[in-house]
Amino acid sequence: MGARVKNAEKLVMSAMKGNDASHDAAHAFRVRDLALSLANEEGLSSSPEAMEVVELAALLHDIGDYKYVRNPSEEVIVEKFLEQEGMDEKRRKKILMIIKRMGFKEELVGHGIDKYFPEFGVVQDADRLDAIGAIGIARCFTFGGSRNRVLHDPAVKPRLDLSKDQYMKKGEQTTINHFHEKLLKLKNLMKTEAGKRRAEKRHMFMEEFLKEFYEEWDGRA
């Protein structure tokens, strides 16, 4: 493991230690591991430079997350870190572009990166894979609980056609509605073939969970 990666891990541990378990350092480390695995499957392992971009972008992607950052200056932590680590400008810009554009809210307004940017695809897919499946379900309820969100209210319908501003208003959601507003959409938004393959199983697990949830909620199970 290179010195930059070790230093990035230390930064992640420090910057994310106050977050709830849905967006803590363990999330960043899981996304890193997933991203490297996807990168291998997508044929990026022959390029050490590309793999370093993938690993650092994945590790650092949630530092400065709008859901947790109270001081806007914290959003420049990653940029300063990469400069201090002596990373060349080309790769530094690539990492920052991945981090700034990979979020679901950015895709709502069309801020995506095309398919010719493979590092972006594997990092975004890795982050989205961690948002679905068994861990995705656990993270969803952890975040909802941390914000005292209503678990489920049949009278509150999911907002299926969301703008970026609406999506960012977390108080308007129930935890269960978040599955319909975001999580169930992620399978079809995967950029890489490796990501698409892994998303299938995780998506099916969520569908089975929701089916059981609604049956139990209504007293039918």
Split at pLDDT 50, 70, 90, the class of 76 is confident
Q: Which CATH number fits domain 3-217: 3.40.50.2300, 1.10.3210.50, 3.40.50.2000, 1.10.443.10?
A: 1.10.3210.50
The pLDDT of residue 201: 98
Closest CA to 17 of 7, 30, 28, 6: 28
Answer yes or no: are the C-beta atoms of 195 and 38 closer than 8 Å: yes
Q: What percent of the chain has pLDDT over 70?
A: 86
pLDDT tens, position by position, 94-112: 999 999 888 876 676 655 5
What whole-number distance in Å separates Cα of residue 124 and Cα of residue 58? Answer: 8
pTM score, two decimals? 0.90
- 195-201 average pLDDT score: 98
Of the ranges 24-28, 72-76, 130-134, which one carries the lowest mean pLDDT score?
72-76
pLDDT tens, position by position, 18-42: 899 999 999 999 999 999 999 999 9
The pLDDT of residue 159: 85
The pLDDT of residue 196: 98
**Distance of CA 81 to CAs 53, 196, 221, Å?**
14, 32, 52
